[in-house]
Amino acid sequence: MPQMGVSVAEGTVVEWRKQRGDWVEADETICEISTDKIDTEVPSPASGRLVEVLVQVGVTVDVGTTLARISTDARPGEPHSSENHGPPAPAHAAAAAAPASPATPPSAPDPAQAPAARAAGGRASRRYSPVVQRIADEHGVDLDEVEGSGRDGRVQKKDVMAHVQARGGGGGRAQPVDEPTMHIESPYRPGAGASLGGPYVPPEGRPLSRMRQQIGEHMKRSQDTAATCTTWIEVDVSRVEIARRQLGITALPLIARCTIGALVEYPLLNAWLEGETHTVHEQVNLGIAVALGEDGLIVPVVRGAQDLAPEGLSRRIRDLARRARARQLSPDDVRGATFTITNPGQFGSMMATPVIAQPQVAILDVEAIIKRPVVVTDAFGEDAIATRPMVILGLSWDHRALDGALAARFLANIKKRVESYEA
């Protein structure tokens, strides 16, 4: 079970894409897993044959648990270990028979050994193509029982397939065939009118989805761990609005760029607090919350964000959001965030009190940009009322790691950068 994130301790196997006996290439998907951070595919660490599946679908195991074994010294076509309990290979049969007639020329066989030698010889003459051996192994077929239709009675793929099919009814290791149901329930259901006046029957409850359970567990743990406070500041985004139109991008990467600048100046906000261990990061790994419709949300990470210009940030955020929605994020895409931005303002909401993603010490909430009348001072020191695009930035921060004055200075620093933005 690979490590899928700093705080992830366990994962659940959702599906095996490869079965025992299958050949897998390095980096080919071997199974799918689900952790509390991400649902993802597990690439094979090596090329070889999958000889053992140790964790079944639906089972949750700790990080580091072996999921399956791959035999890397196997070769495509080589029999795999499960064949050991099949019939002995022809070569073994021949070898076993050989000592019975040591150095005896074939023209003068010991009569007593003749039948055995003939039997061994008969089997040795039957060679099977790789595909026939593989199918026989998968279905537990004794190839001695299969009639061959090829040249000199050679067993072809179609012969072994026909044998497997013919045997289907006879049991053995064949799968039972599902009986079709005799009675099919009518799909007709009386409409709501029929139950008028009847007692209210609440719909049946369903278990919460895995993703919702994981988000819930993580958020609740954060609230139980951190001393969360929220501070707001109102910011004029006129310059950002002009710049974003010039660059043809959204305001988010520009505000993110200003936030990253402030994080570099106030590294205490770009930090982790794990128990009593306080880690201040130089590199900014910026988490961006991406909504996955009704299902939940995921927070992919822009690594080394301090080195990216707004266009680069925009490209990375777009790419991560697209892959998040296509469920194609890799574990590296979601781990190691040092600070998070959440941006639900696209729906018009004004303020929120976001929950900090542990073990980070703060999260910035970017709300809707709304035009408002504000008091501005002109070059002559005269006050006037003007229409300006404004946004409220909300910072939830952990009072264990910092105090309100620092949070306010940090927000003021972002405000200064946004309001003096030069494209």
Partner 1 sequence: MPEMTYLRAISDGLRTEMRNDERVLLMGEDIGVYGGAFKVTDGFIEEFGADRVMDTPLAESGIVGTAVGAAVVGLRPVCEMQFADFVSCGFDQIINVAGKMLYRQGLPVNITVRLPSGGGFSGGPFHSQNPEAWFMHSPGLKVVAPSTAEDAKGLIIASIRDPNPVIYMEHKNLYRRVKGEVPEGTYETPFRARVAREGDDLVVITYGAMVHTALEATADLDGASIMVLDLRALVPLDEEAILNAVHHCSKVVVVDEANYTCAAGAQVSALIAERAFEDLDGPILRVASPDVPIPFSPPLEAAVLPSVERVREACRQLLEY
Whether the CA torsion 71, 51, 16, 32 is positive or negative: it is: negative
Between 126 and 318, CB nearer to partner 1: 126
Q: For the chain, what is the largest distance between any 2 Cα atoms, rounded to a whole number of angstroms?
A: 124
Measured in degrees and rounded to the nearest 5, phi and psi for residue 23 equal -85, 130
- Which of 27, 110, 142, 399 is an active site residue? 399
Residue 115, preceding peptide bond in cis (omega within 30° of 0): no
Between 23 and 272, CB nearer to partner 1: 23
Residue 406 CB burial class (10 angstroms; 0-12, 13-18, ≥19)? middle
Between 136 and 418, CB nearer to partner 1: 136
Smallest gap from Cβ 87 to partner 1, in A, equals 19
Between 117 and 155, CB nearer to partner 1: 155
Q: Which residue has the tokens 């010490």?
A: 361
Label residues 324-353 b or e (16+ Cβ within 10 Å = b). beeeebebebbbebbbbbbbbbeeeeeebe
Smallest gap from Cβ 17 to partner 1, in A, equals 16
- The answer to whether residue 159 is catalytic is no
Beta strand 286-288 with 339-342 is parallel
Do residues 33 and 13 lie in contact, with contact meaning Cβ atoms separated by under 8 Å?
Answer: yes
DSSP calls for 38-101: -EEEEEPSSSEEEEEE-S-TT-EEETT---EEEETT--TTS--GGGGGSSPPHHHHHHHHGGGS
- Cα separation of 1 and 367, whole Å? 38
Smallest gap from Cβ 35 to partner 1, in A, equals 30
- The answer to whether residue 80 is catalytic is no
Smallest gap from Cβ 72 to partner 1, in A, equals 16
Between 159 and 367, CB nearer to partner 1: 159
Between 134 and 281, CB nearer to partner 1: 134
Do residues 67 and 31 lie in contact, with contact meaning Cβ atoms separated by under 8 Å?
Answer: yes
DSSP calls for 284-329: --EEE-EE-TTS-EE--EETTGGG--HHHHHHHHHHHHHHHHTT--
Smallest gap from Cβ 75 to partner 1, in A, equals 8
Between 136 and 313, CB nearer to partner 1: 136
**Which residues contact partner 1 (rule: CB under 8 A)?**
23, 75-77, 129-134, 150-151, 154, 156-158
Tokens of 383: 């006050």
Tokens of 224: 């139980």
Between 44 and 133, CB nearer to partner 1: 133
Do residues 44 and 70 lie in contact, with contact meaning Cβ atoms separated by under 8 Å?
Answer: yes
Smallest gap from Cβ 157 to partner 1, in A, equals 4
Smallest gap from Cβ 321 to partner 1, in A, equals 27
Measured in degrees and rounded to the nearest 5, phi and psi for residue 89 equal -65, 150
CB atoms within 10 A of CB 151: 7
Smallest gap from Cβ 150 to partner 1, in A, equals 6
Nearest Cα to Cα of residue 79 among 87, 151, 98, 150: 87
Q: Where in the sequence numbering do the catalytic residues fall?
A: 399, 403
